[in-house]
Homo-oligomer: A and B are copies of this chain.
Amino acid sequence: MSSSDASPGRGGREQAATAKPPMRDALVAAAFRLFLERGYEQTTVDDIVALAGVGRRSFFRYFPSKEDVVFPDHERCLADMTAFLSSGTDDDEPVRRVCDAARLVLRMYAENPTFSVQRYRLTRKVPGLRAYELSVVWRYERALAQYLRARFAGRPDGTLRADVVAAAVVAAHNNALRSWLRSDGQGDAGAAVDHALGHVQEAFGRPPAGPPSAPAGQWSGRDEGQDDVVVVVSRRGAPLWRVVQEIESTLGRD
């Protein structure tokens, strides 16, 4: 399953990257050079600013703490994700939309494989950075869940479903991302993430538009709208949300 035209494009990212202040980039570069040479714990903010040739106040203008310099792009990516989600319409299939939003994170990592792999190794070694990363991941998951809660509002178990889908999307994305990072950034990260997110869309999303996944003819009544009769067969124990979801997806409605 590949990312659609509705996915965030790549042009804006390069533009944004170019617009980043050079001093900020210099601080990140200096910090990572020292982290790799001496270790994270053994490197102070004073060491970083000395190597970058700037004062301490310049560092803290860009980064609240030493931990933040390890993850310099997550705030921007979170903002991009929130903007992407809020720019959608009610016609967007919600699960597909959050999968596309998750691809923004992958794109940030894939823009600079060497840096991403270095950071991955560093984060494995330093418990404080691992905790920081967990809090970042949690914020992405919350952003996705909030979007889904709004889209599922009024549906039975809407917030439950939103939370579960958001967690599943993040887990699938991170499963593929981590495999790519462990392989030192070899291979096609985008294809791996698409495959992983496809798994979640299969479990929770509506069948994608376009060529139906079922054999031709099987869904032939779907396009005929008002003339259709819908017959629902459900196991006795099936929850109502599941039945409603199946009807909605069959009718191609949200």
* A residues adjacent to B (C-beta < 8 A): 1, 130-131, 134-135, 138, 157, 159-161, 163-164, 166-168, 170-172, 174-176, 195-196, 198-200, 202-204, 207, 213-215, 217-224, 227-239, 241-243, 245-247, 249-251
Task: Identify A213's interface contact among B161, B195, B220, B242, CB under 8 A.
Answer: B220
B234 and A230 form a contact (CB under 8 A): yes
Q: Does B200 lie within 8 Å of A164, measured CB to CB?
A: yes
In whole angstroms, what is the CA distance A224 to B230 when docked? Answer: 19
Kindly state the separation between the CA atoms of A195 and B240 in the bound complex, as whole angstroms.
12
A160 to chain B, nearest CB (A): 5
Contacts of A166 in B (CB 8 A): 171
Contact between chains at A167 and B171 (CB < 8 Å): yes
Q: Would you give the shortest CB distance from A102 to chain B, in whole angstroms?
A: 13
**Closest beta carbon of chain B to A89's beta carbon, Å:** 23
CB pair B229 A236 closer than 8 Å: yes
Contact of A160 with B199 in the complex, beta carbons under 8 Å: yes
Of B163, B230, B249, the contact of A220 (CB 8 Å cutoff):
B249
Q: Assuming A134-B138, A203-B203, A203-B204, is B231 touching A243 (CB within 8 A)?
A: yes
* Option from B214, B223, B246 in Cβ contact (under 8 Å) with A203: B223
If A134-B131, A167-B171 touch, does A228 touch B238 (CB 8 Å cutoff)? yes
7 A-B pairs in the complex with CB atoms less than 8 angstroms apart: A134-B134, A163-B172, A164-B172, A203-B222, A228-B233, A228-B238, A228-B242
For A246, the chain B residues whose CB sits under 8 A away are 227, 229-231
Q: What's the least CB distance linking A77 to chain B, in Å?
A: 19
Quick one: given A164-B172, A200-B164, are A231 and B228 in contact (CB under 8 Å)?
no
B229 touches A230 (CB 8 A): no
CA–CA, A245 and B174, complex, Å: 23
